[in-house]
Structure 1
């Protein structure tokens, strides 16, 4: 999903219309204020903005200034942290993008509306599983992870 998003190849409504798919609705399913493009869905939509604010607050990283999806995929390079922290930040960005995409698809295909808080709960859960499975030491605590994901550095 991250790779396709970076190439602007996700099946987003504007991209579907551009490919001559007969689509009647092109507005963002979350906010219904702007056309749904990759950049809007992941960086400008009010739901995505709330998710990024929550991720920043939770992980205690500097504010994210992303105007395009590509900016999100490069965010770890603009933060002065160690190599391990950069990997965690990139992983959290990719997981966050996936959870926003999943929330969007649940709304479009199943009419299940997820709030930014719901999406954040999933980000913490998926992020914990990802870090725990990739960590050489299996010492990562769920309780500590939920407070601050960089605690193990």
Structure 2
């Protein structure tokens, strides 16, 4: 196993952790009693910022997920929630190297959406 394969395996092992509602999206922070100025998604200003909204329902996320089939030359992804994403991920039936590539792209997309959200959220504090 080379370094790239190790990195993909390490990234993939963290995905289920995100399904525990531990991600610090505005809805979760508010539900924990932390004072947030707004629970509205900072990326689109349209919808409550939950994990599902941030990664799948937000127009920024939908635009990104619609580009993946073009990049990977595969069928359209119909991801609407974290549960649908996990079911899709677990149901991929490909050779291990091909599956690792798809996982690497999807993990990168999740990370990119999170980084974009943080950039939009934190620019108000600079």
Is the structural similarity TM-score above 0.5?
A: yes
Aligned residues: 111
The aligned residue for residue 80 of structure 2 is 67
The aligned residue for residue 110 of structure 2 is 97
- Show the 5 A alignment for 1:1-153: 2-111=15-124
List alignment gaps of at least 5 residues for structure 1: 112-153
TM-score by length of 2: 0.78
The aligned residue for residue 4 of structure 2 is none
TM-score by length of 1: 0.66
Deviation per residue, 1:18-74 (Å, 9 max, x gap):
000011211011111100000011011100000011122111121112221233244
Counterpart-to-counterpart distance in 1, 2:90 and 2:15: 17
Displacement of 1:88 in angstroms is: 1.2
Moved more, 82-91 or 37-46: 82-91
RMSD: 1.7
Q: Which of 1 and 2 has higher RCO (CA within 8 Å, sep 6+)?
A: 2
